[in-house]
Amino acid sequence: MNQGFFLVQNLGLLFSMFTLGSHSPKSLRTEVLSGLTVALALVPEAVAFAFVAGVEPLVGLYAAFMVGLLAAIFGGRPGMISGATGAMAVVVGVIVSALVFAWEHAKHIRVEKYDREGSRVYELHGPLFFGSVQNFLDLFHPENDPDDVVIEFQHSRVADHSAIEAIDTLAERYIKAGKTLHLRHLSPECRKLLKKAGDLVEVNVMEDPHYHIATDEMA
């Protein structure tokens, strides 16, 4: 999927630059606006058709702006998009698909799980923010863990208030299950914002990171 994305992206940008440069500023402005209109109409339609077909949204986006790409390269009939209009549709399609790809990638936080000295260690990788908190919570099952559990945040960053609430929620689950939870390598700001899990954070002055969290509570 990633290889296909970058191939279509590079082809689209290459031919878009070539086609857009062959028009006068006046006609280019008109066709760019037309291309934006076409792209904005195609993107939601393509995503909807992708869901109906049971494929990923990116597949629908590829199919949508491939029409504009081919029209930009080879031209088309009078009723079809072509020239800079088609090229601009490709550009917008590439940008939107890149944003969708980045968003889907960011939502997936992964964990390395292993046992060490009688404790179950969860080593997180990836940002913890409003888009990934559900995935984060689904990674843990307190009832199946031993009595001592460590969550390691050294390779993760807590980004916003939703992430703070998710950590508090997880801590409450472990407390109700009668398990001992340790939170390591959280920033001092995280410790201040955590309500139920603040006392579970192990402080390491030399190694703990320092970063800010998107929330109004520290204002």
pLDDT score, position 137:
94
- CATH code of the domain containing 123: 3.30.750.24
- 115 & 48 share domain: no
- 119 & 175 share domain: yes
- 6 & 100 share domain: yes
- 101 & 129 share domain: no
- 67 & 122 share domain: no
- 119 & 93 share domain: no
Secondary element (H or E) of residue 201: strand 201-202
- 129 & 97 share domain: no
- 86 & 121 share domain: no
Whether residue 210 is contained in a domain is answered as no
pLDDT score, position 5:
46
- 90 & 16 share domain: yes
d(C-alpha 201, C-alpha 46), whole Å: 46
d(C-alpha 57, C-alpha 97), whole Å: 9
pLDDT score, position 164:
94
- 29 & 47 share domain: yes
Q: What is the tens place of the pLDDT at every residue in 75-126? A: 555 555 444 445 555 566 666 666 665 566 556 788 999 999 999 999 999 8
pLDDT score, position 44:
72
Question: Is the distance from CB of 119 to CB of 91 less than 8 angstroms?
Answer: no
- 123 & 193 share domain: yes
Query: Low-confidence residues of the chain, pLDDT below 70?
Result: 1-43, 48-49, 51-58, 61-62, 64-107, 217-219
pLDDT score, position 14:
45
In 75-148, where does DSSP find H-type helix? 83-107, 133-138
